Structure 1
């Protein structure tokens, strides 16, 4: 992986996985048998995901430590990322002179049908966004693609005048449809591929897959709605 990934000091890009990265053979890993014919390859193994999140937690703590933080987890795809990130933040806080007081709330954004992002975004769940007024907000998202969904969410939150808003995204996709939005913290920048696993889904399937993988055409057709 190291030969095909740039070292990217820019936290908004994270670890950059190049377009020519072939991924890992599925036979090198264990994964649920019911997906055996539905995946092309492993793009990012689970262990690398967890290690990268630990570094993100360190970066966030260096920037935002010693403050009260409202973490807004974007469901459903962001729940595993958020859980691991919060756990690492707690560990750093317990074992250093930098501390952060955290509260976590959950919100759901709906913008995909099958493997295509739509122009409509629905915000569901969570408390009234007005409760974010004056708060330091960290939005935790699974993937930023075009950027339109995140910009719409930020616009909705900014109306209530929080003290600060930062965005952490596990993945940032390089896509020609991007409007240029970049999160403040990114785990990985990936090619324009439809990926599943580590709570990222295709029509609610593949959330139980630990690795981040590329779905194949058979899988798309099998679970299409």
Structure 2
């Protein structure tokens, strides 16, 4: 499959002043800039829903949410797919499942991937699976998950990730559907966390040094 088109955010993109948006007061000193505003995330997610409908055909899809960071993107993406099911000629039945992976401590990927849950992956045998992820950093986590899934012999596996990070640590993995390609910065918000904080932030933002120190594990 050809590489997915996406919105590319360049290395010199400065983002937006925090004062231009509604930011929760408890995070006002913990962030540098708003990087991707919530409205832009939603518009891009709507388009991804359409691309997924087109790319996965008229098959029953099992949407597999990678927790915890993927839950907001997952919910919004499914809402857009459901709207397409209601309002267009093409309609895809969907069921949902969840898996939790852990590979971060503070702002660094540990390289070790813990799978929490996922005991019932045998239900994916013979199914068309859409893995919904918040961010692909090095790509190691997703490669591990994909190789795990192959043991259960799904019919088709596609991956959609809201963000893909441009990083020298990348193993070269690229998802089938991508929302935004972002520089090698640690971003939070829209369910992406730093030690469990910032999930309750609508926009995707760059964390400040003060924020890193404050919420360090």
1:13 CA drift (Å):
4.8
In 2, the alpha carbon distance for the partners of 1:177 and 1:12 equals 20
1:65 CA drift (Å):
3.4
Give the corresponding residue for 2:164: 172
SS at match of 1:60: helix
Instruction: Compare 161-170 and 92-101 and name the one that shifted more.
Output: 92-101
SS at match of 1:100: coil
Where does structure 1 lack aligned partners over 5 or more consecutive residues?
A: 1-9
Instruction: Compare 98-107 and 123-132 and name the one that shifted more.
Output: 123-132
In 2, the alpha carbon distance for the partners of 1:172 and 1:119 equals 17
1:126 CA drift (Å):
3.7
Contact 1:111 1:121 in 2 (8 A): yes
1:11 CA drift (Å):
5.7
When the two chains are superposed, the root-mean-square deviation of aligned CA atoms in Å is 1.0
1:119 CA drift (Å):
1.3
CA distances 1:12-43 after superposition (whole Å, capped 9, x unpaired):
35100000001000010011100010000000
CA distances 1:60-87 after superposition (whole Å, capped 9, x unpaired):
1111132100000000000000000001
In 2, the alpha carbon distance for the partners of 1:145 and 1:199 equals 16
Give the corresponding residue for 1:224: 216
Contact 1:65 1:99 in 2 (8 A): no
Where does structure 2 lack aligned partners over 5 or more consecutive residues?
A: none
Structure 1 consecutive aligned stretches of length 4 or more whose deviation exceeds 6 Å: none
1:110 equivalent among 102, 115, 120 = 102
CA distances 1:116-153 after superposition (whole Å, capped 9, x unpaired):
00111011124421221100000000000100000000
Give the corresponding residue for 1:159: 151
TM-score by length of 1: 0.94
1:134 equivalent among 122, 126, 129 = 126
Equivalent residues in 2 for 1:177-216, closer than 5 Å: 177-216=169-208
The question of 1:68 aligning with 2:64 is answered: no
Instruction: Compare 63-72 and 146-155 and name the one that shifted more.
Output: 63-72
